[in-house]
Amino acid sequence: MDNLRFIRETMERASSFTAVPGWGGVVVGATALIAALIAARVPDEHEWMYVWACELPLALLIGGLTMKRKATAAQTKVLSPPGRQFTLSLAPPLIAGAMLSIALARVGAYDVLPGMWLLLYGTGVITGGAFSVKVVPVMGVCFMAVGLIALIAPPQWNNYFLAAGFGGLHIIFGTIIARRHGG
């Protein structure tokens, strides 16, 4: 029995986390586009950040629920060994982004937030994607590229980069993941 348990655990650790939600990514992308439209219309930087701060828990909720739904449909657990590795790899860059956002907002450095958010999210997607399907790290690289461009582009374009990254890239890669790897 111990040998069978060892074999099963070894196979679980070697497998990929396939519960990355494609259609959930599309929905997250749609809500990010709406957030970008709303944020573009607010005159104050604090309100602008508040719009995006509201989008974050909404995106996490959508992603979490659709991930759970996809895992249940595939008769796997979200917190299987690959799922835990995915989550533990994705979370630190997101937490770092949240903490840096607070620090940068305190000093009024709102212009660097979009580039930083995109870069750190991309970093998390790449590291989490190491335990997932191959297209996920590619998505992370694309987020990092958009983040890099956002950091060197004029600040007036920030909402466009956030819309392109969190909106467009989620929709594009969500569709790819849904079609190639199921919902």
CB atoms within 10 A of CB 163: 21
d(CA 121, CA 21): 16
Would you state the pLDDT for residue 5? 62
d(CA 133, CA 36): 29
Would you state the pLDDT for residue 42? 94
The DSSP result for 89-133, as a single string, is HHHHHHHHHHHHHHHHHHTT-GGGHHHHHHHHHHHHHHHHHTTB-
Condensed to tens digits (0 to 9), the pLDDT of residues 2-25 reads 655 655 555 455 445 556 788 999
Can you give the residue ranges of every domain in the chain? 19-181
Q: Which residues of the chain have pLDDT under 70?
A: 1-19, 78
d(CA 49, CA 110): 8
d(CA 182, CA 19): 9
Would you state the pLDDT for residue 150? 97
Classify each residue of 49-63 as buried b or exposed e, where b means 16 or more C-beta atoms within 10 Å of its C-beta.
bebbeebbeebeebb
Give strand pairing partners of 132: 17
The residue ranges of DSSP E strands in the chain, in sequence order, are none
Would you state the pLDDT for residue 20? 75
CB atoms within 10 A of CB 140: 24
d(CA 114, CA 57): 17
Would you state the pLDDT for residue 18? 58
Would you state the pLDDT for residue 14? 46
Q: In 3D, which of 135, 179, 165, 155 has the Cα closest to residue 36? A: 165
d(CA 183, CA 127): 22
